[in-house]
């Protein structure tokens, strides 16, 4: 399972890269706004740090405007993947861009039929949001399983990118189900290597080493 960092923080991206855990980067308008950076300049800087796919989201909601907004983003670098919403216009834009060889990431997916339509339109990635479903009393992992089954049934090549991941157990479940990608904040990547028994074991080993005679 590939790991993407859900961030526009260049220090976090460098840190994930140095861990060997950076397969790609996802961003959205909220993340970029919090970074306080020029959108296109920040996307270019991210592409310099990340060799894998870098999702850049459009803010337009209509097909023609989405395509217009995508044009300068595609020019930033070959890593750029245009992030579009799972709406009728987003699917149309996906079809238009995919037919030209531009990779797309269909985001804000909350049900398997949206994922089916995205795959039929040629999406490179589909981004089901696990945590937001959990927030309203549904099991977000059910959606990952449903999409995985649909794609495997019919041989769709669209990759399942698990998004809105809140904690390491979500990652474990995604890996067991067979999600192609998970995108996470840096704190989740840090948490992947933490376990109290690891810390206790290391402390004991070091203490025993100091006692050697």
- Which of 34, 83, 120, 187 is labelled catalytic? 83
Hey, is 123 helix, strand or coil?
coil
Domain count, the chain: 1
Placement of tokens 């067991």 in the chain: 176
Q: Is 194 a catalytic site residue?
A: no
Read off the pLDDT of residues 177-202 as tens digits, 9 standing for 90 and up.
999 999 999 988 888 888 888 888 88
Average pLDDT, the chain: 94
Read off the pLDDT of residues 128-175 as tens digits, 9 standing for 90 and up.
999 999 999 999 999 999 999 999 999 999 999 999 998 888 999 999
pLDDT for the residue numbered 168:
84
> Are the CB atoms for 66 and 90 separated by under 8 Å?
yes
Q: Does the pTM exceed 0.85?
A: yes
Residue 97: exposed, middle, or buried by beta-carbon count in 10 A (0-12, 13-18, 19+)? buried
Read off the pLDDT of residues 58-67 as tens digits, 9 standing for 90 and up.
999 999 999 9
Compare 29 and 128 and report the one with higher pLDDT: 128
Instruction: Give me the domain span that covers residue 39.
Output: 2-210
Overall residue count recorded for the chain in this entry: 213
Compare 109 and 207 and report the one with higher pLDDT: 109
Distance CA 92, CA 129 (A): 21
What CATH number is associated with residue 97?
3.20.20.70
């Amino acid at each position: 399972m590939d790991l993407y960092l859900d961030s526009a923080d260049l220090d976090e991206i460098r840190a994930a890269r140095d861990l060997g855990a950076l397969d790609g980067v996802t961003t959205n308008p909220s993340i970029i706004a919090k970074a306080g950076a020029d959108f296109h300049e920040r996307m270019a800087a991210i592409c310099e740090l990340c060799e894998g796919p870098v999702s850049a989201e459009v803010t337009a909601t209509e097909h023609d405007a989405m395509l217009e907004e995508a044009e300068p983003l595609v020019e930033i670098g070959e890593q750029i993947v245009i992030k579009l919403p799972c709406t009728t216009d987003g699917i149309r834009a996906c079809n238009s861009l995919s037919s030209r060889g531009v990779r797309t990431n269909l985001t804000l997916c909350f049900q398997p039929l949206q994922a089916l339509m995205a795959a039929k339109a040629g999406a490179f990635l589909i981004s089901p949001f696990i945590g937001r479903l959990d927030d309203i009393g549904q099991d977000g992992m059910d959606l990952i399983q449903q999409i995985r089954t649909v794609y495997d049934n019919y041989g769709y090549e669209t990759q399942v990118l698990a998004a809105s991941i809140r904690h390491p157990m979500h990652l474990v479940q995604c890996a067991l189900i067979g999600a192609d990608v998970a995108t996470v904040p840096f704190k989740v990547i840090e948490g992947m290597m933490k376990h109290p028994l690891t810390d206790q074991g290391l402390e004991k080993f070091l203490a025993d080493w100091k006692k050697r005679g």
